[in-house]
Structure 1
Amino acid sequence: MSEKILPVDLRDVRVHLVGIKGTGLAAFAELLHARGARVTGSDTAEKFYTDAILDKRGIRYTEGFSAENVPSAASVVVFSSAYDPATHPEITEAVRRGIPTLSYTEALGEFSAGRFSCGVTGVHGKTTTTAMLGSIVNSAGLDGAVLVGSGVPVFGGGSVLIRGDSFFAAETCEYRRHFLSFHPSIIVITNVEADHLDYYRDYDDVRDAFVEYASRLPAGGRLIACEDDAGVRDVLARVASSRPDIRIIRYGFDASGPYRIANESLADGAWSFTLGDDRDPYTLRIPGRHNVLNAAAAVAAVTEIVAATEVVASGSSPPGFARDVRAGLESYTGTRRRSEVIGCVDGITILDDYGHHPTEIAATLGGIKEFYTPKRLIVDFMAHTFTRTARLLAQFAEAFSAADVVIVHKIYASARETFTGSISGVDLADVVRPNVSRLEYFEEPLDAAEFVCGLLEPGDVFVTMGAGDNWRLGRAVLERLTGEQAGKSGGTA
């Protein structure tokens, strides 16, 4: 936008957030509140994990939407992209009164423009990488803030870490080119491939969006990129040609230089690996070799932020800082819905994961199987969007090979999607079935609860996976199995 609406100094600025319980806007509310803004908001009456976070911060919000919710003295109204600004009563009321409005991504972009900012992006891995970055920032005591698109235990369960204002790092999303609102001095790209095909035409369109985002870096800006990913290498070739003034910093198993991963091993529930010529190993206690790549990206990002801003860490000497970086990685336990442990009962481990693209499904399931070495890996999957399912159907067919049993449901639709073709959860089940030992189909996730409870045995790992609402099944199964275990204990007392 040509004229900034959000000032750098937010003290006493009145901001109203429409959809304040959403992960992104709730975190943004925390950021604004910490900077002295007077924050209000509105959302549905449905309860989310963010309710407790907003209540803890003393941020006022109304349940239900109405034009009357918009404060008379509001300086700006920020709204979630889930709502249509042409029809939502609070957004249209703000326009009627002449109150400036911004989408969440526009507001985040304006916030980033007022400070040294790092954007973390990629079709997969951006949430985990940003959360790892935040864990390191917290451990090292750096004067900055980090915003993640999920709840993070080391952030106290919220989605934002606030330790100061010398820099700002945020997860930035490629969907509908939202990341082009961000104003980065550093960008991290984890991977690039075809996705969000309800919006993008094809892979080339996705790649070009990432090239455009990278090109927003200023002269001398740092582009931290995964050398192992073919799509990222494609982006780098184009950026290097058009913007030779951007510093390209590569990480990965195939990279050279200080962020080259080597000596990786998995033992006793932990990954160990080294970076560059440094022989002192890093430790990471979450599943998946792909998360070693994410960890290298996080280390690179924090190191480059410190080099660029000269922000002082609590362990300000190089050895002290290096120890803090390692401690930040080792203490990282994951985020909500990323291989999240929901519970363990009677020798059965129940996990939940947001993975919804074939590439991340295959990598995540392979990582879980390697990490937990279960008796059986049982996966419940709910596809998200008809377009993604139809366009990537052949890739979905091969994505579940690590699973011993797969359960599939109807496709979880997106309100933002327009799809005129024909595809169903049954179609997905039909292409996956020949490639797995056993597949069962239940239209609704909770319809599978009795089947799953009867199937699970000690030593199994059960994973609910996808961007739909089948996460409810994992919790229902845990509740039922816990109740059965309590009943057995009571009967033998």
Structure 2
Amino acid sequence: MAKQLPENLKGVHIHFVGIKGTGMAALVEILFHAGAVITGSDVAERFYTDEILEKLGLKALSFSENNITDKIQYVVYSSAYKLDKNPDLIAAVKKNIPCVLYTEALGSYSERAYSCGICGVHGKTSTTGLTGTILKELNLPSQVLAGSVINSFGGTCTYTSPLIAEKERNQGDEASSENAQNFNGKNIFVAETCEYQRHFMSFCPKKIILTSVESDHQDYYPTYEDIRDAFVDYICKLPENGVLIYCADDKGAVETASIAGKKRPDIKMIPYGQNAKGDYRLSFGKVENEKNCFKLELFKNCGELAIAVPGKHEVMDAAAAVALCSELLRDAGIVPLSNYQNISRGLINFTGGKRRSEIVGRFKTKSGNDVVVVDDYGHHPTAVKTTLEGFREFYKGRKIIVDFMSHTYSRTQALLKEFASCFKSADEIILHKIYSSARENPSDFNITGLTLYEEVLKTGIEENRVHYFEEILDAKDKVLELLDAPLTGAYPDGYLFVTMGAGDNWKLGKAILEQ
């Protein structure tokens, strides 16, 4: 079976199995604008990616062998579906149609561009979104694929330079080659690349951003060393004199970069962060008027930069994005300092992504309390802790209520104590049953949502501040009661209600807003 997509995609009919997946929908956007004919299938449940597909005039079909017509030339499929189980895939195999895994298709596309991979246990999506939003302000031929809808991309998962979009419509794969200064005639392609099951090993990067490395995906990486070594192997995919931009404030990223550097001394190592030396040394500034201000050494004589999203971790992601964009400018023979205003504008234009500190609504309670409802995908204890700390600093005048649903039994069991201690920046904590994964059997674990609840109480948080409801919507009345309670002088602005996790407890925030 072929694992490559053709160079010229104009008129090529590609069928996507699992087309509603975020990464799949993003790849659909890019291949659609490259001239491919797209069809796809998925489950009937509506997802936010349905809106992306509808903007392209596409609608997901139900899974069926009848979807696989003789006109289809390639099938791209999500790893959630198996060649011998899904009816579309079974039919495609029978017809000898090349079936390409999503990660292989992404890797195939990355080969034809000057590709930059953004990886790390935390911060991939925000860093990718920030990079794309800055690139929108720069005169570089670029495409960006993120793992979520990015508001500043116009409510899609991808950004494509107008130079590329226009020429792709007219010329197919010869798009804007004359504009790709110093990139060997290729367009810049920036993509979020995932470490799970070593998926990023299909990608072909010239530059890599590494945001963080720590233990995660315990079902596939039982030890920290297992996941660290996967990142090392990915870095070693860089070509001779390739570039690694890594976080100097993350212990795992520093160790990973060091190991990779010993294996590949030709790789150019560029650190960013407070502990970095050089152009991308970071200094945190004030948090005021719902803006995070900061300085980078490269622009020390130009003034501060700022982003309009909460959390020091987002500032770190912004520093990484600025570093990548500045290095791409240098590759194109452009001085980054001359683009300070453009970079600054790109940063402030970034307002987050779907389920990434996303403000989903606000309302007044019966007693007149102002409530902001936020949804966030944070599902690792480090991400939960840093995100809540960011909210505490950003929304100083609001009382914070967090509703958290832990995702995967294996992660919760392996990181139980870390999860229990990650909620200290919240005033009230609501917990639920564990949101399982299709790849694990709950009966294999001696842990439940109640186990986490009991562990949180052991950290010294008052029992009346921690609440447990097995089912998500059973907590609705309690949340409404908490939000309507009188506020002390310490919280003059009202409440911040946060649904957090990779599960479906976002439905609680939606129910609260509807009521």
Alignment TM-score, normalising by the size of structure 1:
0.93
**Which residue type is aligned with residue 14 of structure 2?**
V
Distance in 1 between residues matched to 2:316 and 2:285, nearest whole Å: 11
**Which residue type is aligned with residue 346 of structure 2?**
G
Which of 233, 249, 258 is the equivalent residue of 2:254?
Answer: 233
RMSD in angstroms over aligned alpha carbons? 1.5
Distance in 1 between residues matched to 2:292 and 2:379, nearest whole Å: 24
SS in 2 for 1:81: coil
Judge conservation of contact 2:292–2:307 (CA < 8 Å) in 1: yes
Shift of 1:162: 1.1
Distance in 2 between residues matched to 1:250 and 1:74, nearest whole Å: 46
Name the CA shift for 1:147/1:464 in 2 (closer, same or farther; >3 Å). Answer: same
SS in 2 for 1:472: helix
Judge conservation of contact 2:3–2:100 (CA < 8 Å) in 1: no
Deviations along 1:350-402, one digit per CA (max 9) or x if unpaired, are 11100010011000001001100144211100000000000000111111111
Distance in 2 between residues matched to 1:62 and 1:361, nearest whole Å: 33
SS in 2 for 1:17: strand
1:250 aligned onto 2:271: yes
Q: Give runs of aligned pairs for residues 68-217 of structure 1, distance below 5 A.
A: 68-163=66-161, 164=164, 166-217=187-238
Give unmatched runs, 5+ long, in structure 2. 165-174, 176-186, 365-369, 488-493
**Which residue type is aligned with residue 196 of structure 1?**
H
Aligned to 1:476: 511
Deviations along 1:2-54, one digit per CA (max 9) or x if unpaired, are x6520222111111001111111111111001111111111122112222221
Distance in 2 between residues matched to 1:253 and 1:264, nearest whole Å: 12
Q: Identify the range of structure 1 (19-28 vs 378-387) with the bigger mean alpha-carbon deviation.
A: 19-28
Aligned to 2:30: 31
Shift of 1:441: 0.7
Aligned to 1:50: 49
Judge conservation of contact 1:198–1:418 (CA < 8 Å) in 2: no
SS in 1 for 2:326: helix
SS in 1 for 2:137: helix
Shift of 1:421: 2.1
* Number of matched pairs: 473
Give percent identity, aligned residues only: 46
Distance in 2 between residues matched to 1:320 and 1:293, nearest whole Å: 22
SS in 2 for 1:258: coil
Shift of 1:319: 5.2
Deviations along 1:257-303, one digit per CA (max 9) or x if unpaired, are 00110252212211111111422211111100111110000001112
Aligned to 2:352: 334
Aligned to 1:464: 499
Distance in 1 between residues matched to 2:157 and 2:284, nearest whole Å: 32
1:291 aligned onto 2:347: no
Distance in 1 between residues matched to 2:377 and 2:284, nearest whole Å: 29
Distance in 2 between residues matched to 1:287 and 1:364, nearest whole Å: 8
Aligned to 1:441: 468
Judge conservation of contact 1:5–1:76 (CA < 8 Å) in 2: no
Q: Give runs of aligned pairs for residues 379-458 of structure 1, distance below 5 A.
A: 379-418=402-441, 420-435=444-459, 436-437=461-462, 438-457=465-484
**Which residue type is aligned with residue 261 of structure 2?**
A
**Which residue type is aligned with residue 463 of structure 1?**
V
Q: Identify the range of structure 1 (433-442 vs 76-85) with the bigger mean alpha-carbon deviation.
A: 433-442
Q: Give runs of aligned pairs for residues 359-374 of structure 1, distance below 5 A.
A: 359-374=382-397
Judge conservation of contact 1:374–1:461 (CA < 8 Å) in 2: no
Q: Identify the range of structure 1 (231-240 vs 210-219) with the bigger mean alpha-carbon deviation.
A: 231-240
Judge conservation of contact 2:273–2:281 (CA < 8 Å) in 1: yes
**Which residue type is aligned with residue 291 of structure 1?**
E
Judge conservation of contact 2:483–2:495 (CA < 8 Å) in 1: yes
Distance in 2 between residues matched to 1:470 and 1:462, nearest whole Å: 12
Runs of 4+ with >3 A deviation = 316-320
Deviations along 1:328-351, one digit per CA (max 9) or x if unpaired, are 001111101111111111111111
**Which residue type is aligned with residue 129 of structure 1?**
T
SS in 2 for 1:139: coil
Aligned to 1:485: none
1:40 aligned onto 2:39: yes
SS in 2 for 1:463: strand
**Which residue type is aligned with residue 352 of structure 2?**
G
Judge conservation of contact 2:3–2:99 (CA < 8 Å) in 1: no
Which of 321, 326, 342 is the equivalent residue of 1:303?
Answer: 326
Give unmatched runs, 5+ long, in structure 1. 481-493
Distance in 2 between residues matched to 1:318 and 1:409, nearest whole Å: 48
Name the CA shift for 1:207/1:317 in 2 (closer, same or farther; >3 Å). Answer: closer
Deviations along 1:128-163, one digit per CA (max 9) or x if unpaired, are 000000100112243110000001111111101111
Aligned to 1:15: 14
Name the CA shift for 1:67/1:209 in 2 (closer, same or farther; >3 Å). Answer: same
Distance in 1 between residues matched to 2:139 and 2:437, nearest whole Å: 40
Judge conservation of contact 1:397–1:432 (CA < 8 Å) in 2: yes
Deviations along 1:441-464, one digit per CA (max 9) or x if unpaired, are 111111111110111047111100
1:324 aligned onto 2:342: yes
1:357 aligned onto 2:356: no
Shift of 1:317: 6.9
Distance in 2 between residues matched to 1:175 and 1:364, nearest whole Å: 22
Distance in 1 between residues matched to 2:190 and 2:506, nearest whole Å: 29
Shift of 1:318: 5.0
Judge conservation of contact 2:400–2:497 (CA < 8 Å) in 1: yes
